[in-house]
A and B are shown apart, each in its own frame.
Chain A
């Protein structure tokens, strides 16, 4: 079983459209949507959810009003500025501090230092994850709650569940749709993968961001394949990107032309492979053949 992670550095380069196309092209596979704070793969793969479970990535502090003696030691100790007096900061007989759950990082320090034992520390549901069936095979995806953190842990969970399914069913591939950037959720989606496919675009921003992705792949020693999407928008920058990627040890897996069929397929809630067999669809087939050959 091989795990292929598709990331991009820069957002909006066509990652999810290419993952959906790979889903239509690859043989036996499981899918994992690891862009958990803006998951979109389900919009084109139309999954039917067969299992769902709450995800809790950690605990949050909560001040018990009746027990609090308003000594303020929690406020002084919290490094995340998560505890304050909601009403203007004046201490009165009734007024006790409260925890802003959006800023609380669940370190539990306040709970441990509170002299009145007035702070509860409870697991918080940060989102949920789903196991679904699609016409292309099983898919694991998730939804992070509104304004919740812990996306890295949820990414790890989604990947782990997809790998378990692939192993149990003897599938050939796990296709992972990653998130933009190079931080916590991206690192959680690539560590230990067999190969990264980085999808970029021929712009100076795309180039800048891809170079940071290639440094990240190098840092974790994961083989990197590069694809310039919409390459014909600026052929000379496309070439510069490919050259620089090669210099940094990446392989160029293909180019996909600018084609409005990609957006039209998305609007029709399908993959571009099924939408047409011309243009970008053809380029993505060639790209998939190169990715498969590289494994």
Chain B
């Protein structure tokens, strides 16, 4: 089973929940893989301190012109929807950062003058801790195409045991790439106006994708009641509430796991897992009735 931890707003506690949920289940004897899909700013390794055993480049296909064959007809520039190719005075200029690797230019070139060669956009690292398997991606500095790296991480995580995905913040392409094909999504938020507003966007996204989900509230006792009212009115279940405890923030700042630094919080993650499992076993249409 694949569980994605996501949020509209950044810094609400995705990584905290992903790592503590993963490690607590692994320590309970389950087979767990943690997949860090926040490839722009991956942080799970700071907390889990995995031993990395392999590191491989993530590549995309980029066009390359075989000058001898090129007649400068300009078709490649015309068919590129991303403005990654310009043909000026019969000379082809390629802007690799803008390329989406769709293959249109090479397939449609009448002279077969465009070949595709791999270009590195990031790396993928695999490893493990004593208890769990670990995989993360890192987007190279200055690259735009994080979804490609995320896709590679998701595929590398495989489907042995349970996979817990730490998604990037937001609601657009990188997040969709991270959460798609998940069996369940946990949306993390906090009871602030920013947290609530961004949750409504994230809920829109997971509903559009048709994925079953529930909400986790971090710093739950900040005292803004609109968040729980919103969840109630939308029929959204809250399956985890972590209180606003300065000791949690301090342990986090040092890269420590909550379940180890503050073991009194471990049962929160155990019951969150139970709630995820209970919902996942129900067909989507039955979820709401059953919970009620």
Q: Which residues of A contact B (CB under 8 A)?
A: 8-13, 16, 36-38, 40, 43-44, 58-59, 77, 79-80, 102, 105-109, 112-113, 144, 146-149, 151-152, 179-187, 201-206, 208-209, 212, 215-216, 219-220, 233-234, 237, 263, 266-267, 269
Contacts and interface: CB of A to CB of B under 8 A. Distances in A.
Contacts of A208: 41, 43, 46
Interface residues of B, number: 56
Contacts of A106: 81
Query: Which of A151, A183, A220 has the most C-beta atoms of chain B within 10 angstroms of its own C-beta?
Result: A183
Contacts of B205: 146-147
Interface in B187-237: 192-194, 197-198, 201, 204-205, 208-209, 222, 224
A-B residue pairs, 10 tightest by C-beta: A11-B10, A12-B11, A107-B102, A181-B40, A203-B253, A180-B10, A204-B255, A11-B11, A234-B253, A149-B173
Given A44-B193, A108-B104, A216-B141, 17 more contacts: A12-B9, A16-B194, A77-B103, A105-B100, A109-B79, A147-B204, A180-B10, A181-B41, A183-B174, A184-B145, A186-B40, A203-B253, A206-B253, A208-B46, A233-B246, A266-B192, A267-B192
Contact of B204 (A146, A180, A202): A146
Interface of B: 8-12, 15, 38, 40-41, 43, 46, 79, 81-82, 100-104, 107-108, 139, 141-146, 168-176, 192-194, 197-198, 201, 204-205, 208-209, 222, 224, 246, 249-250, 252-255
Contacts of A184: 144-146, 173
A108 B79 contact: yes
B192 A10 contact: no
A109 B169 contact: no
A125 B141 CA distance: 30
Contact of B142 (A8, A77, A202, A219): A219
Contacts of A37: 8, 170-172, 175, 201
A102 B10 contact: no
Nearest to A109: B104
Given A10-B41, A38-B170, A102-B176, A266 B253 contact: no
Contact of B11 (A13, A144, A149): A13
Contacts of B254: 203-204, 234, 237
A182 B144 CA distance: 8
A183 B8 CA distance: 16
Contact of A112 (B79, B139, B176, B192): B79
A145 to B, nearest CB: 9
6 contacts: A183-B139, A202-B253, A205-B15, A212-B40, A263-B222, A267-B192
B147 to A, nearest CB: 9
Contacts of A36: 172
